[in-house]
Structure 1
Amino acid sequence: MAIYDDQNIFAKVLRGEIPSYKVYENEQTFAFLDIMPRSPGHTLVIPKAAVRGILDISADEFVEVARTTRRIALAAVSAFNAGGVIVQQFSEPASGQVVLHMHMHVMPMTAGIDLLPAQTRKEDPKVLEQHTTRLIAAIKEQMQRA
């Protein structure tokens, strides 16, 4: 397995060197909006551990990523009045992984509206701020009910 590069963009986000639209964080995971979303509310869930993908993450760390991914998926469906959600994970360049830090894509979906092509359009920062607010509110509501 290839070596983890601690200069990748998500490692820099975790260290606060690059700003992000954070929607959720706990001891082991961090979730933030994709700045080039394929659907409104497209969120990335990453482990805080320095791992490239599913091939080198520990089972315990992966369980925490999965828990956070589920939390974000439920909140995103609620916040964006979506009919469903796509969850994707790519590991290693041969699979299409671009940023070599483990991440899960959570994309709320509405029937009849296709995903935008990957990495084609940066979203307006004001829209991302609005989406961040909506997701945070939905996550808080979800946690209060639990």
Structure 2
Amino acid sequence: MNKKDHNIFKDIIENKTFAYKIAEDFHHLAFLDIYPMKIGHTLVIPKKSINNIFSMTEKRFLSIMSFCRKVGIALEKTVPCNRIGIFVLGFEVPHVHIHLIPMDTENDGNFSKKRIFLSKKNFVILSKKIKEHIID
């Protein structure tokens, strides 16, 4: 398999690869980015593999946006910030993924910036705190 075609998100969905999951339902999964731009940087993915967000049906598109809203609200309650930025790039992995990033300035959404490091302990604590704010 070509490394570029490898879908790490499929492995996370199937529990073949560990992730700090913070929310999940039948169609979606949210987990902390292990190379975050800011503390709380979260990825939201559909469980059904699709490469382009605008290839999703309107129903699935609205569903994932609703799921992002629920996760974003929990992030705002957990991580001090001015707002949660939402980004859809999708070049790294051939699977729709939405970045939810706690932001204080527009520069916090600069994907060319150096990523921050968090210890496993900090990831565990953070994911637990965010989960406490997820409302069904």
Q: TM above 0.5, one fold?
A: yes
From the superposition, tell whether residues 47 and 113 of structure 1 become closer, same or farther in structure 2 (CA, over 3 Å). Answer: same
Residues 126 and 65 of structure 1: CA distance in aligned 2, closer, same or farther (over 3 Å)? same
The CA distance in 1 between the partners of 2:107 and 2:96, in whole Å, is: 27
1:53–1:101: 8 Å Cα contact kept in structure 2?
Answer: yes
> Structure 2 counterpart of 1:40, which letter?
I
**Match 1:109 to one of 97, 103, 111:** 103
Distance in 2 between residues matched to 1:100 and 1:119, nearest whole Å:
23
Aligned residue pairs, count: 131
CA distance in 1, matches of 2:47, 2:106: 35
- 1:87 equivalent in alignment to 2:86: yes
- Contact persistence 2:38–2:116 (CA under 8 A): no
For residue 123 of structure 2, what is the amino acid of its counterpart? L
The structure-2 alpha-carbon separation of the partners of 1:44 and 1:112, relative to structure 1 and needing over 3 Å to count, comes to closer
Q: CA deviation at 1:80?
A: 0.9
Unaligned runs of 5+ in 2: none
1:77 partner amino acid? E
Q: Secondary structure at the match of 2:55?
A: coil
Letter in 2 for 1:86: G
Structure 1, unmatched stretches of 5+, are: 92-96
> Post-superposition shift, 1:110?
3.1
Partner of 1:128: 123
Percent identity, please: 26
Q: CA RMSD in A?
A: 2.1
User: 1:43, 1:107 within 8 Å by CA — same for their partners in 2?
Assistant: yes
Give the corresponding residue for 1:138: 133
Structure 2 residue aligned with 1:20: 19
Partner of 1:49: 48
Contact 1:53 1:103 in 2 (8 A): no
